[in-house]
Structure 1
Amino acid sequence: MSSLTIRGFWAVLLVLLLPIAGQASEIGTVNFKFDSDQLDAQGQAQVAEIAQRLKSVSSYKPTVVVGYTDAVGSSSYNQSLGQRRADTVAKELSSAGVPIDRIGTVKSRGKSDLLIKVASAERQNRRVTVELSDILAACQSFRAVPLAQSAIGDELQQDLLNRLSEAVISYDRFNGNGANGSAFQMAGAARQDCGQAVGYGADSVRKLEYAKKCFCNSARLQTALGNTP
């Protein structure tokens, strides 16, 4: 394939793609009473609604359950309280019929990331969020990327296309201004591997291999761009 044809392929591809993914997809939020890790009536209804959503969504993406607190109290106490709240929600989701393998990371952010920036006991800050995450904060090896053969389908293909789009845009931008840093190198690697993954059919064993490489280099690109904490 000539360089002109390749450029034409990328141009058409970028026009057809949806907006780039990379953010967590929120399923729902559960709120708590002050200094409590137990569900009240509202919290139980919120968990039931989230459970129904999770059971109705067919996705390979890991579920992330994160507990938060309000600003009252010490950081260490709130870190523990946030974890207990997250554990409560994860346990209730499982009891409500969400398969245990759908419950991924369960963690606490304590009183970090207040939804309402106040020092008082604000209920909206006392929450647990449940999301589907589709980006790796870091990637040491593509072999560690949690993708199974069963993940191959339309949703994965669209994610691969979105990551390819971002890699191509980043690569062209850095190539145009003469930059040759880590972000440019990661953009090139992601462009190559995501392009390979997109090109393989769903029945090819190489598709999963290159999908993992695509995800890994896409995560490294995000880190190089400063888009991950």
Structure 2
Amino acid sequence: MSIRTFLLCLLASLAFVLPLRAQNIGTVTFGFDSSVLDPSARAEIKEIAGRLLSSPSYKPTVVVGFTDAVGSQGYNQQLGLARARSVQKALIAEGVPVSRIGAVGSRGKNELLVAVAGPEKRNRRVTVTLDDIFAACRSWRDLGLTEASVGAELAQDLRSRLAEAAGAYEQLRRSGVNGPAYQMAGAAREDCGTAVGFRDDAVRKVEYAQRCLCNFARMKVALQAN
């Protein structure tokens, strides 16, 4: 079977795949102007930790703090970060390995859930997600996958990325566009196809999985700028 026939068959079989996105694990809310965890927050963190521990994943866990609209931008940025760090420490105390926690950050009073100028508890939150975007991928070696990362979840993501990259490449080819997006789509299609083709116990499976994830991220960035 040629690579073109293989890709066409794979695209047809994956037509139902939803777009990849960050997977939400849970949300913790806070009192006004506070980064202290109350009993309900600690209960939610316990549940989040249970979800993380029961579902091992190669994806980095991202902890992001938010505030309501009261106060200055700078103050709320720091408050959001303090809330995120409180959740990070509590997750580790619940048994989540330090290595499972990826980025910890703050968006302050940006991205309000409820668009009000006054106090609103639903805006005072920390989200815990499994990140699916590797936009900061400078090199595929930065992703840090290991043989333990290989499994059903990674295999499904590789197939999904292969389908999307092949579709983007074909669309750009037909349009006659030969820029960074086209080049990255071609690279992602090639590396994701190679990664999918390897058996799980193949020595180079991890390497090409990292190449796939990295070039896919670069492709997404290039497509947005296209």
TM over 0.5: yes
In structure 2, the partner of 1:35 is: 33
In structure 2, the partner of 1:137 is: 135
Matches within 5 A, 1:75-224: 75-224=73-222
**Could you tell me how far apart the structure 2 residues matched to 1:203 and 1:6 are?**
22
**Could you tell me how far apart the structure 2 residues matched to 1:72 and 1:19 are?**
41
Query: 193-202 vs 6-15, which deviates more?
Result: 6-15
Is residue 16 of structure 1 aligned with residue 21 of structure 2?
A: no
- For the 8 Å contact 1:20–1:165, the answer to whether it is kept is no
Matches within 5 A, 1:29-68: 29-68=27-66
Render the CA deviation track for 1:101-127: whole Å, top value 9, x for unaligned: 111111111111111111111110000
TM-score scaled by length of structure 1: 0.94
* Alignment gaps of 5+ in structure 2: none
Over the aligned positions, Cα root-mean-square deviation in angstroms equals 1.3
**Could you tell me how far apart the structure 2 residues matched to 1:140 and 1:99 are?**
26
Query: 5-14 vs 53-62, which deviates more?
Result: 5-14
What SS does the aligned partner of 1:19 have? Answer: coil
**Could you tell me how far apart the structure 2 residues matched to 1:69 and 1:46 are?**
18
In structure 1, the partner of 2:24 is: 26
Q: Percent identity?
A: 55
Task: Quote how far apart the aligned CAs of 1:20 are.
Answer: 4.5
TM-score scaled by length of structure 2: 0.95
- For the 8 Å contact 1:20–1:166, the answer to whether it is kept is no
Task: Quote how far apart the aligned CAs of 1:8 are.
Answer: 2.6
**Could you tell me how far apart the structure 1 residues matched to 2:164 and 2:109 are?**
33
* Alignment gaps of 5+ in structure 1: none
**Could you tell me how far apart the structure 2 residues matched to 1:64 and 1:30 are?**
13
What SS does the aligned partner of 2:190 have? Answer: helix
**Could you tell me how far apart the structure 2 residues matched to 1:157 and 1:187 are?**
19
Task: Quote how far apart the aligned CAs of 1:100 are.
Answer: 1.8
Render the CA deviation track for 1:54-77: whole Å, top value 9, x for unaligned: 111121111000000001000110
Render the CA deviation track for 1:145-202: whole Å, top value 9, x for unaligned: 1211210111111111111011000001011111111111110010001101111111
Could you tell me which amino acid in structure 1 is paired with residue 153 of structure 2?
Answer: E
Query: 71-80 vs 8-17, which deviates more?
Result: 8-17
Instruction: Give every structure 1 segment of 4 or more consecutive aligned residues whose post-TM-superposition deviation is greater than 3 Å.
Output: none
What SS does the aligned partner of 1:169 have? Answer: helix
**Could you tell me how far apart the structure 2 residues matched to 1:84 and 1:175 are?**
47
What SS does the aligned partner of 1:29 have? Answer: strand
